[in-house]
Structure formats: structure tokens, C-alpha cells
Amino acid sequence: MGVDFVESRNKRLFAKKLDFKRGSVDLTHGAGGRASAQLFEELFKPAFSNPLLDAGDDQARFEGQGRMVVATDSHVVSPIIFPGGDIGALSIHGTVNDVAMAGAVPRYITAGFILEEGFALSTLQQIVESMAAAAKEAGVQIIAGDTKVVERGKGDGVFINTTGVGFIPETLETPPAATRAKPGDKILVSGSIGDHGITILSERESLPLMAPLTSDTAALHGLVADLIAAVPDVHVLRDPTRGGLATAINEICRSSNCGAELDETAIPIKRTVDAACELLGVDPLYLANEGKLIAIVSADQADAALEALKAHPLGTEAAIIGTITDDLNGFVQMVTPLGGRRMVDWLTGDPLPRIC
């Protein structure tokens, strides 16, 4: 991919360059959408550029004792305890999943805590025990950590940073990567979207909903292992966290220089989630998920991939939702129930900060 193409693509994505003299950080820069991508492209990438970082995946693969994978994530979710989980379990699941999306087996995690003065020890104990249980269930060890405390009013209870390390099995010849999507490939999602995001929002707003909502936070490495066992050449894996399904598909298309066509009727969304989204005026395509994955495979392997996902407890609602297209503009289009088409763009604002 030439420099001219990259510059042209970035001009389409980012109408104005960041103003490093007078500009400031706002919440959209942490939302995982267009503003986050611009911050990476114009600030972090030029400063830290190297082949591992420039690949644009959620983790880096490198040679060590075998093929190693490392991923890091920071967790600032509010509220810190929510239906289906808490910031402790979420911090383990999120990092395990980032490592697993490279086809790797997660093994080790480090944990850094930023605590606010006055934070209740009983709540901290609950979070730590939740992390320990999630790590044990996922088969990973927390091998190093750090704790810092800031003055009262200078934090928000607890923030957690985790780094995960895993290993790609020798039997996996070509690991999945964001650059491997090809025209004609099928796009699958492992289950209903928007569960985590709408659960967090409903808790914050104390919504009187008819049916309870629960976060989907879960470790996905077992699901990934079963999928790869059935379809060894999975082209792309991605967990659609911040920015949701829509932004994750746009990121993949950008990395692979292709487009995508999604079938609106095929995308699984729970009725309770859909109803809550309508009530709040938010689009489930852009809501974070913490226990779902996107898989892109060749068309002749799509049925086998779907069967493997559905056979796992975390993939019973899996579906084939679209196709990769030959579009160098990187446009993602949605085919509506009436046969029309609409653009599915990057997340441009931040409908829900502090989501994960």
C-alpha cells in the first residue's frame, strides 16, 4: 500500500487534522471511533511507529519462545459493578479476548490499579476476587502488578490496566489478522450485539425496563479454539468492543483495503436490547460488546465456521451477517429489510463514555 493511497484514505476519514497547538482531548478520543483512529494516526503512530504497531491489530505478534502475542487494555467502566459482571472480571475478559483474537492461547496477565483515596476496601476486595475467579476460569495467571493511589476527588474509585501474553499454537500456520479479509469472504458474529453497552447505560440512567438486561462479558478463547479447530484458516478475528460492530467492521475494511455489505435482517439483537435502544435513541451497531466476536472466513468455510460457533455455549446465537466486497474506498453498506442500502460509517461521537 503506497504512501499516496494512505494519505488519500486518511483525508477521506479525517476532514481536519488535529490542532496540536490549541486543541484538547475530549471524550470522543477514547470512544474507539473516528476520533480515536485519528489520534492514533496523527499522534501515537508517527511517534511510536514500528512494524508491530503499524499492523493495526488489537495485539502484537512477535517471535520469542515461540510465536508470542501481547495486548494491553485500560478499564474505566462506570458503574464499576453492573448486571453480569464488574470492572474486575471485565479487565480479565477484555485482555484475554484481545490475545485470543490473534488465534493465541492466553497464558499470563499483569494488572495495574489506580485507586482513589477513600475507596471502600470491601468493594476493592470484591473486584479483586472477581478478577481472580475470572482468571482461574480462563486458565491464565496474574503474574505481576502495581498499585497507585491518588487523592480524593482526583480519580473515580478504581481504574485497572491489564496486559496479557499468549502463544500462537505451532499447528496454526497463518494466524488471523486485520489485513487478511478478502472480497467474497463471509462475515460472522458469534451472538447478539449491544448487550454490554445497553446494560451499562440502563444502570446509569436507572431505566424502568420490562425485562432485565445483562452484560455479555466473557472470555472467548475457548470459542476461538473451537472455531479454529473446525476452520484452521480464519482470516480475521475481532471483538467489537468500543465503537461496536459498525466500527470494528470499518476498521477491518480499512486494514484490508476492502469494503463490506451487511444484511440488517441477519444481525442478531435481543428484543430487550432493541427496545431499550429505541427508548434511548442509540444505535446498537455502535454499542460495545464484551463477549462477542467477529469472524471473517472464506465463503466455502462459512457454514463450517457457523456450525462450530453455534456448538459452543458462547456462540449459540451466531449468524452469517454479510460479505466482504471489492471496494478500495472501504465503504461498509447495510442492506435493509426493504432491499435498500445505507452507509454504516465509523462512530464519530461518543454515545456512551466509560463503557469498558
Residuewise pLDDT in 10s, the chain (356 residues): 454 555 556 666 777 888 888 888 776 876 678 888 888 888 888 877 878 778 877 777 767 778 999 999 999 999 999 999 999 999 999 999 999 999 999 999 999 999 999 999 899 999 999 999 999 999 999 988 888 989 899 989 999 999 999 999 999 999 999 999 999 999 999 999 999 999 998 888 777 666 789 999 999 999 999 999 999 999 999 999 999 999 999 999 999 999 999 999 999 999 999 988 988 889 999 999 999 999 999 999 999 999 999 999 999 999 999 999 999 889 999 999 999 999 999 887 766 778 88
How many other CB atoms are there within 10 angstroms of residue 23's CB atom?
10
Model confidence, pTM: 0.86
Coil vs helix vs strand at 254:
helix
Q: Give pLDDT, residue 351.
A: 62
How many angstroms separate the CA atoms of 26 and 350, rounded? 10
CB 184 within 8 A of CB 54: no
Whether residue 79 is preceded by a cis peptide bond, meaning omega within 30 degrees of 0, is: yes
Phi-psi region of 32 (alpha: psi -120 to 50; beta: other; left: phi over 0): left
3-state DSSP of 120-139 = CHHHHHHHHHHHHHHHHHHC
- Tens digit of pLDDT for each residue in 288-326? 999 999 999 999 999 999 999 999 999 999 999 999 999
How many angstroms separate the CA atoms of 351 and 38, rounded? 18
CATH class of 57-175: alpha beta
CATH 3.30.1330.10 residue ranges of the chain are 57-175
- Tens digit of pLDDT for each residue in 126-168? 999 999 999 999 999 998 888 898 989 998 999 999 999 999 9
Instruction: Kindly state the cell numbers that stand for 14.
Output: 479525517
186-343 is classed CATH 3.90.650.10: yes
Strands 294-297 and 186-189: antiparallel
CATH 3.90.650.10 residue ranges of the chain are 186-343
